[in-house]
Amino acid sequence: MLESFTAGRKRYKLMEFDAALKHFESALELDPADGPARVYAQRCRHYIENPPPEDWDGVFVMTTK
């Protein structure tokens, strides 16, 4: 699970959200209760639909509560 999560974080930081999502989903298959993998998977889905700017610093800014 940790290997999948780590690979997902690496892809996430590179703005490779499709690839990152696959890794986070793999982590969730192994541990469905993993909160961080769930959060990153949600963020990947968001960024796939709403790409961040090219100079994105990796910070997720919440726009709704």
Cα–Cα distance, 4 to 41 (Å, whole number) = 12
- pTM metric for this prediction: 0.89
Per-residue pLDDT of the chain (65 residues; tens, 9 = 90+): 999 999 999 999 999 999 999 999 999 999 999 999 999 999 999 999 999 998 998 888 877 77
pLDDT value at position 64?
74
pLDDT value at position 63?
76
Residue 10 half-sphere exposure toward CB, CA atoms < 13 A? 7
